[in-house]
Structures are given as C-alpha cells and as structure tokens.
Amino acid sequence: MAVKLEFLGTGNAFLPQGRYHSLLLVDESILIDCPPTALASLRRRELSPKHIKSILFTHWHGDHYFGIPFLILERKWISDRSGESDLSIHGPKGCRKRVSQLCETAYPGSMTDRLDSLEWNEEEKGVVGNSPKWQFERFKVEHDEEVDPHGYLLIHESGLQIMHTGDSGPCEAISSRVPQCDVVVIEMGVPDEVDVSMHFKPSTLDELARANPNTKFLVTHTWLDDPRSSKTPILSAELPSLSDNVIQVGDGDGFILDSDGLNPI
C-alpha cells in the first residue's frame, strides 16, 4: 500500500520567496497544521477544503494555526454548506479552547455551530480521526514552551512510519524515534549562524541525517528562498549541501512512499 505526501507550503513564518507557510497534506485528506496560507495552498492545489478529514496541530505559533478560521468558514459557506463532511481536529490539551477562541476573534458568532459539530481529540495517541488507516502518537519537542510544541509519529496500516517534527530543535524525543521511521518531515527554520536551540539548522539536521542513513528526510519550514522562484531572493536561494538522504522540498512537491521506498510524483 502507498502513502501520498504533498508539500502545499514549505516556508517558515517569514514567507521566503516562492514559498507559502509550511503545510503537509497526507493522502489528500490529512493536514499537518493549518497556517495563514492554508486556504490559498488548497486553492493552488485545486483541492476543496471539504475533502480535508483531519487536521493535526503541532503547536500554537500563528504560522501554524491562524488559517483555521478561514478553512472552517469556507467549509460552512462554500464547499460544505450542508455540513455533511466530517472533520477531526487533533492537538495538545486545550486545543479546542485555543481554536474556538481564534475563530470567535476572527468572525464573532459565525462558526460556533460548525465548531460544535467537529470531532475534537486531545489524546496523545490513537487512530487519526476519519482516517482509520493511520495511527498517531503526539510527543513533546524542543521549542518555545509557551506554545506547547509537539511532533507526530504517524503509523500506516501497511507498517510505513512517518514523523513530522513540528517546529523543534534537536532533542531526544526526535532522535530516538528517527530509526524506526521511513520518512521524517523536518523543519530547518534558521541558518547556522543563528544561535537558537529551538530550531534545526543545516549543521544539526545534517548530523541527524548522517546518523540515520536508512531514513529519508524531507526538509520544510525553511528560511531559504526557493531557487525555482523568478523573484529576487529575500535572504538567499542557495540551498546548503546536505547528506544524500535529505531532500530540500519546495511548494508543490509530492512523493509516493511504499514498500519500494520514496519516489517523487
């Protein structure tokens, strides 16, 4: 059995040239996070929001969840007016409160009925809502504690395993799970000269990849401008040289993962 991974956005909070905010689509129905550019990403992909069955939130920085009011509102008034399409929301404790407060701030009173109809799951592990082929485990990572940072391990019924690190610097929670994964979707939010511990950078990501040569790493949430963009780079469009098992992805890139490995679409 095969798994489809599509990168609808690959940029960090500052929207590098040619990149929307980081957004992963799994099997055309599961989103990891819902950033401000989520609806634009879905429009560009020509995928209706009503086809999204599950959203898994990693943490509460704005570039990872400020798009949820627009997705819910679109489903209510355009793509799912009858309310027949199920949607499950996964996140850390307090997820429902956070998302509901944001939606109320954005459009007071407009989405209460839809929010009440959603399936909310704040458990640390179990079956992904509306996606019975997938099991999940959510785990704490190394990032700003105020935004309750987590990563996800996704286990397909075929046995294939994918990790999404969310926003995180190097930590045992990630490194201990990498060897069991076929693919790790990992952020690279800052260059090496930035002295922070809560993001991966080229040197720390490369070290992790070289220590796990049998795992494929797909790099997203990058500060780098897309070298495929025709526009003038904001910072730099020069991609660093990384281990052979690392792929630095761009918006619109897609992959099929199956028992034969990972292949671009």
Position 62 in a domain = yes
Position 261 in a domain = no
Position 18 in a domain = yes
pLDDT digits (tens, 9 = 90+) for 117-158: 999 999 999 999 999 999 999 999 999 999 999 999 999 999
pLDDT digits (tens, 9 = 90+) for 152-202: 999 999 999 999 999 999 999 999 999 999 999 999 999 999 999 999 999
Position 262 in a domain = no
Q: What is the mean pLDDT of residues 80-107?
A: 97
pLDDT digits (tens, 9 = 90+) for 16-70: 999 999 999 999 999 999 999 999 999 999 999 999 999 999 999 999 999 999 9
Position 247 in a domain = yes
Label residue 114 exposed, middle or buried (CB < 10 Å: 0-12, 13-18, 19+).
Answer: middle
Q: How many structural domains is the chain composed of?
A: 1
Measured between alpha carbons, how far is 94 from 48 in angstroms, rounded to an integer?
A: 28
Position 265 in a domain = no
Q: What is the pTM of this model?
A: 0.97
Rounded to the nearest integer, the mean pLDDT of the chain is 98
Position 162 in a domain = yes
**Residue 38, domain extent:** 3-256
pLDDT of residue 69: 98
DSSP assignment, residue 49? G
pLDDT of residue 1: 84
131-170 per-residue burial string, b: 16 or more CB within 10 A, e: under 16: beebbbbbbbbbbeeebbbbbbbbbbeeebbbbbbbbbbb
- Within 10 angstroms of residue 44's Cβ, the number of other Cβ atoms is 14
pLDDT of residue 11: 98
CATH number at residue 158: 3.60.15.10
Position 263 in a domain = no
Conformational region of residue 25, where left means phi above 0, alpha means psi within -120 to 50, and beta covers everything else: beta
- Contacts of residue 135, defined as CB under 8 A and 6 or more positions apart, other chains included, come to 125, 126, 127, 128, 154, 155
